[in-house]
Amino acid sequence: MRTSFSPRPPMGWNSWDCFGTTVTEEEVLANARFLAEHLLPFGWDTIVIDIDWSDPTARSHGYNDAAPLCMDDHGRLVPDPGRFPSAAGGRGFAPLAERIHALGLRFGIHTMRGIPRRALTADALILGTDARASDVADPHNVCEWNPDMVGLDHSHPAAQAYYDSTLALYAGWGVDFIKADDMLWPYQAADIEAYARAIERTGRPIELSLSPGRDLSLAQLEHLREHATMWRICDDLWDRWEDIEANFARFARWAPHASPRGWPDGDMLPLGRIGIRAERGEARQDRLTPAERVSLLTLWYIGRSPLMLGGDLPTSDPATIALLQNAEALAVHRDSIGNRELFREGDTVLWGAEHADGTRFAAVFNLADAPRELVLDVRALAFEGGGAITELWTSEPLRAEAVTEQSDAARGVAPGSRAVRLALPAHGAALLRCDPADGAALIRRRVHGAGRRAVHSQA
């Protein structure tokens, strides 16, 4: 039923981690301009406005009961013109979407499962039917964490008509991406199917992201692939090492199933300046250490998760922005296949992946609270028979030492193999590339890189 297949995991920016429910049009445009100028050449191409863009009373650190959400006569939410001035006069997000498209970017919005309580209070007429909101509402299936919406009774045909009319409105604005929330915990199969059907009926290739992902089971994999572009595999992720570490096990389950048929999502990247008016915490540059930022990105890249930046880009630390511009590391995210956990024992985790040209990739993680020196057999990294090895975050070549006899200096590496030595900081990671021994992949990358530089110089 999906109308849009994504050949690579979606990448972009989302307003939640920095502005919560309160983002304004000018803040969206400031981040869009920054993304287009500094990150679009590296694949970051989508701008997403998160929850409560229709609430004129939105505030930091939570939601408002009985919020006076802006909606039309048919119970469909529309932008608050106070925060989004270009939406005045019933224009919705169309003018903002046009400006974002003009930057070469895609435009996305957050939506919630169900129908607004305000539509039920007004008993709004469902567009294209003679049914009212009270006919389709299911007050027994409501969101557990947000007060705005009531569930839909999908045994009534006007429930589908409500989603159809809502998605037709949003498609008419030029929406390319929708983050549909309250879909996965608990798993709302009827809503997922109805929402995907409504997107298909618009005729517009809108990518569908499902949230929030708590306790999501692999038993739902085929259903998710049939209906969504991406789906969360965890609850909200914040700038805490314990949140990142908890996702190692989830990625180990889900990453082998990532493909253009659908992308398991480890949630937004809480990097840069966050918490400005967010749900959690105060304004800050994220509280992760430099090593933890590298580990976060390494896991998301090798796991091929969608990448949605959570920080306010214009005011984020330049060192963080520089991490997001590492083309060699991002190539692992874009091009690798066979992504999987190879080893997890104690505080050491190894991941592996390949490229169709024979290049191999590995990620090495130190989960310990102290620095560690590791000696790894190239065969444990699936690098046997390969050529030059490069650490992609530093662009430093690594020497693979031939081991001729057993010794404490290369414990765990058998004679006849080669050993790679890594010094990793606490909660640190390395992202490695092993070129094929014949060097063909290096030539391919040089040609591809020259082509990209030519394209950008002509733009």
pLDDT per residue over 49-87, tens digit each? 999 999 999 999 999 999 999 999 999 999 999 999 999
What average pLDDT does this structure show over 156-175?
98
At 385 the pLDDT is 86
Q: 């009961």: which residue's tokens?
A: 65
Please state, in angstroms and rounded to a whole number, the distance separating the CA atoms of residues 224 and 233: 12
The string of DSSP letters for 230-283 reads EEE-SS---S-HHHHHHHHHHHHHHGGG-BTTBEEE---B--SEE-SS-SSS-S
Per-residue tokens: 258: 């990532």
Q: Of all helices (H) and strands (E), which one includes residue 31?
A: helix 25-34
Q: Which pLDDT belongs to residue 448? A: 55
In 3D, which of 294, 303, 389 has the Cα closest to residue 340? 303
Write out pLDDT tens, residues 283-320: 999 999 999 999 999 999 999 999 999 999 999 999 99
The dihedral through the CA atoms of 101, 105, 106, 112 has a sign that is: negative
Residue 450 is predicted with a pLDDT of: 46
**Distances 144 to 153, 180, 299 between C-alpha atoms, Å:** 17, 15, 30
Give the model confidence (pLDDT) of 242-281 as tens digits: 999 999 999 999 999 999 999 999 999 999 999 999 999 9
Q: For residues 220 and 269, give the distance between their C-alpha atoms in angstroms, rounded to a whole number.
A: 25
CA distance 48 to 109: 5
Residue 452 has pLDDT above 60, yes or no: no
- Please answer whether residues 92 and 144 qualify as being in contact, where contact means their C-beta atoms are separated by less than 8 angstroms: no
Q: Which residues of 66-79 are buried (b: 16+ CB within 10 A; e: fewer)?
A: ebebbbbebbbbbb
Cα torsion through 338, 341, 342, 343, rounded to 10: 180
What is the model's pLDDT at position 410? 84
Q: What is the DSSP letter of 38?
A: I
Distances (CA, A) of 195 to 10, 114, 123, 181, 227: 19, 10, 22, 11, 9
Report the C-alpha gap between 360 and 435 in whole angstroms.
7
Model pLDDT for residues 11-21, shown as the tens digit of each residue: 999 999 999 99
CA separation, residue 7 to residues 211, 224, 229, 263, 337 (Å): 21, 16, 10, 10, 12
Q: Using CB atoms within 10 A of its CB, is residue 33 exposed (0-12), middle (13-18) or buried (19+)?
A: middle
Q: Out of 113-127, 198-212, 440-454, pick the least confident.
A: 440-454
pLDDT of residue 1: 67
Judge whether residue 439 has pLDDT over 90: no
| pLDDT at site 377 | 95
Residue 449 reports pLDDT greater than 90: no
Q: What does the angle CA 187 – CA 22 – CA 316 come to, to the nearest 5 degrees?
A: 100
Establish whether the linkage from the previous residue to 314 is cis, with ω within 30° of 0: no
- The full length of the chain comes to 459
Closest CA to 414 of 424, 422, 403, 427: 403
Q: What local confidence, expressed as pLDDT, does residue 447 receive?
A: 46
Instruction: Give the per-residue pLDDT at 407.
Output: 84
In percent, the amount of the chain with pLDDT more than 90 equals 90
The 10s digit of each residue's pLDDT in 35-44 is 999 999 999 9
Report the pLDDT value the prediction gives residue 376, as an integer from 0 to 100.
96
Q: Across residues 366-387, what is the average pLDDT?
A: 95
| CA distances for 303 relative to 263, 265, 297, angstroms | 10, 9, 10
Q: Tell me, what's the pLDDT at 297?
A: 98
Lowest mean pLDDT segment, chosen from 87-101, 171-185, 331-345, 405-419: 405-419
Nearest to 310 by CA among 279, 276, 269: 269
pLDDT at 438: 79
Asked if 304 and 255 touch (Cβ cutoff 8 Å), the reply is yes
pLDDT at 3: 55
* Local structure of 369: helix, strand or coil: coil
Question: What CA–CA distances, in Å, run from 91 to 87, 239, 403?
Answer: 5, 37, 69
* pLDDT value for 454: 40
Lowest mean pLDDT among 67-71, 139-143, 264-268, 448-452: 448-452
Write down the pLDDT at residue 444. Answer: 59
Q: How far is CA 122 from CA 73, 76, 288, in A?
A: 9, 12, 46
H or E segment at 328?
helix 327-335
Here the tokens at position 360 are 């191999």
For the chain, give the percent of residues with pLDDT over 70. Answer: 95
**In the β-sheet with 418-424, what is the strand arrangement from edge to edge?**
372-377, 418-424, 400-402
Query: pTM for this structure?
Result: 0.95
When the pLDDT of each residue in the chain is averaged and rounded to a whole number, the result is: 94
